[in-house]
Amino acid sequence: MTGHDRPDAGRVLLDGSLGEGGGHVLRSALSLSLITGRPFQLTGLREHREPAGLRPQHLAYVRGAEALCGGTSEGAVVGATELRFTPGPVRAGDYLLEAGASGSTPRLFQCLVYPLALAGGGRLTLRGGTHLPGGPSFHALVGAWLPVARAYGFPVQLSLTHAGFHPEGAGEFTAEVGAPVEPPVRVDLPARGVLREVRVMSFVGGLPFAVAERQSRAAVAALRERGILAEADNRPLAVTRSQGSATFVLAQFEHTVAAFTSLGERGLDAEGVGREAAEALTRFMETGGALDEHLAEQLLLPAALLASGRLGAVTPGTTRFTAARVTGELMVQAEVLRRFLPVHIQVEPGGSVEVRPA
């Protein structure tokens, strides 16, 4: 039974001040609205920010959600601080969507992938930024998010056409999204276990290849100082109008994975980019969490779908894990999920998280 079949699918009221900037609340609400069929009203969106209200990258999430379901929105204009969204039934199929130069295609993807999969699947071709500050990179999706999604029964394949860096964007990637397969009954990740392998991947797009080599050497050296051996792989990325660089560190533990991306930026030399990604891993390893803070937040939605019985399991399942750090984004995601789905989410200050049926 979808949310569109439910007579109790009432409008969800949300306050944009739940999360800093409101963008995270908006993405989560749109995804859950598509999944459950419940409309929502979001107020206080970025009302204390400068500039205030919705920005073009936020509108890309709304337009993407509308494209998947034929839904309608009120207030979806630049500068608006209030938005009402009413979904229609999500349609399986192929979609080409623009995130814009300042829009994150990985974030747009994470907003839409679960609703599309639950509707039967299809293809998402997304254009915009693929490696932008403040959000997951395309390679973080592949290295960290994808194994989690597949563990919950979501068969997804990702391919990068060309990279898009700040500020021009102009990247593109494609996601082949299948309908969910049999989900787990229980997911327990109390500890990450022993470190098995660390890979350093250094990328450049539109820049000299020597920049990638300098980044990876610095990352490998910084890890070696902490007693961590790593293999390095330097690669050029196809680009169109943008140029940039990135260092990606992927750690494979006994039970989990952790991924960290550092992007080239003005005032940060290639060695600094490499060290930044390596130091992010070493800081994570100083914690007791099974999952890094970003993956922990991203795990909540499929965990809530499992707990609410929306993955087709005979019995709704339970997820338990530990996070390296309890972030504001994790707490916001938990609260938005509670508003839409019949789930109980318990987050302890020390990082223990449990998602179970209400």
Residue 315, Cβ density class (10 Å: 0-12 exposed, 13-18 middle, ≥19 buried)? exposed
Structure tokens, 289: 């969490």
Structure tokens, 210: 């020597």
Model confidence band, residue 324 (pLDDT cutoffs 50, 70, 90): very high
Please answer whether residues 17 and 335 qualify as being in contact, where contact means their C-beta atoms are separated by less than 8 angstroms.
no
Query: Phi first, then psi: what are they for 129, rounded to 5°?
Result: -80, 135
121 strand-pairing partners: 178
User: Which pLDDT value is given to residue 6?
Assistant: 42
Q: At residue 221, does pLDDT exceed 80?
A: yes
Please answer whether residues 51 and 26 qualify as being in contact, where contact means their C-beta atoms are separated by less than 8 angstroms.
no
User: Which pLDDT value is given to residue 46?
Assistant: 79
Most confident of 1-5, 141-145, 185-189: 141-145
Please tell me the distance from the alpha carbon of residue 71 to that of residue 40, in angstroms, as a whole number: 12
105 Cβ contact list (under 8 Å, min separation 6): 99, 126, 127, 128, 129, 130, 138, 164, 171, 172, 173
For CA atoms 122, 127, 132, 137, the dihedral sign is positive
Mean pLDDT for 237-265 is 97
Q: At residue 166, does pLDDT exceed 80?
A: yes
Mean pLDDT for 314-328 is 94
Please tell me the distance from the alpha carbon of residue 237 to that of residue 170, in angstroms, as a whole number: 13
pTM value is 0.94
pLDDT over 90 percentage in the chain: 85
Residue 227, Cβ density class (10 Å: 0-12 exposed, 13-18 middle, ≥19 buried)? exposed
Read off the DSSP letter of residue 184: P
Q: At residue 341, does pLDDT exceed 50?
A: yes
Please answer whether residues 253 and 193 qualify as being in contact, where contact means their C-beta atoms are separated by less than 8 angstroms.
yes
User: Which pLDDT value is given to residue 20?
Assistant: 58
Read off the DSSP letter of residue 57: H
User: Which pLDDT value is given to residue 7?
Assistant: 34
Please answer whether residues 57 and 45 qualify as being in contact, where contact means their C-beta atoms are separated by less than 8 angstroms.
no
What pLDDT, in 10s, does the model give residues 30-52? 999 999 999 999 998 877 777 87
Q: At residue 19, does pLDDT exceed 70?
A: no
State the distance between the two ends of the chain, measured CA to CA, in whole angstroms. 18
User: Which pLDDT value is given to residue 3?
Assistant: 41
Please answer whether residues 105 and 137 qualify as being in contact, where contact means their C-beta atoms are separated by less than 8 angstroms.
no
Structure tokens, 249: 């560190």
Residue 50, Cβ density class (10 Å: 0-12 exposed, 13-18 middle, ≥19 buried)? exposed
Model confidence band, residue 314 (pLDDT cutoffs 50, 70, 90): confident
User: Do the bridges between strand 352-357 and strand 343-347 make them parallel or antiparallel, or are there none, so unpaired?
Assistant: antiparallel
The total number of residues shown for the chain amounts to 358
Closest Cα to residue 158, out of 144, 141, 179? 141
Model confidence band, residue 267 (pLDDT cutoffs 50, 70, 90): confident
Model confidence band, residue 313 (pLDDT cutoffs 50, 70, 90): confident
